[in-house]
Amino acid sequence: MSVSVTPADVDERDVVPELVSGLQGRLLGDKGYIREVLREDLAHQGVALITPLRRNMKQDHPQWNQTVSRHRQLVETVIGHLCHWVDIEHIRARDRWHLTSRVARKVLAHTVMSYLNHLKGRPYLKFEDLLKA
């Protein structure tokens, strides 16, 4: 896994090759990552970009299936938790060190909450009444 911090005016598709440099395999993305040039560049690196199809697209890769959808749903749930429970969208930092340490603390908080659920024998991602007796 890797992270790249960019200014807000940079297209997220422009940093994908940097994030996956040296890796091979499959990369899952949403419809926002559909760009033919990006798909070709990643293919030269040995990375297959898999995205859901837009309505006007023909199916050119059968890899998008229920397993991928289930994994994506889990990722989207965790992202939703990070936004709702630890407010990861609003990080006030003036430099990269403070930004990365605050992001790390928020991700760690989510991990600890999941672990507490595990210890209590509850579903990992059910945080609503975690701290009740």
DSSP summary character for residue 81 = H
Domain count, the chain: 2
Asked whether residue 53 falls in the same domain as residue 81, the answer is no
What does the pLDDT read at residue 16?
85
Rounded CA-CA distance 78/74 in Å is: 6
In which domain, by residue range, is 130 found?
65-133
Give the end of a domain, one of 28, 58, 88: 58
The pLDDT of residue 18 is above 90: no
82: nearest Cα among 109, 48, 61, 122? 109
Work out the average pLDDT over 103-117. 92
Asked whether residue 80 falls in the same domain as residue 99, the answer is yes
Work out the average pLDDT over 40-51. 87
Mean pLDDT of all residues in the chain? 83
What does the pLDDT read at residue 27?
83
- Higher pLDDT pick, 59 / 11: 11
pTM value is: 0.61
Asked whether residue 1 falls in the same domain as residue 39, the answer is yes
Percent above pLDDT 70 for the chain? 85
Work out the average pLDDT over 27-35. 81
Rounded CA-CA distance 23/5 in Å is: 19
Give the end of a domain, one of 58, 81, 107: 58
- Higher pLDDT pick, 69 / 34: 34
What does the pLDDT read at residue 121?
93
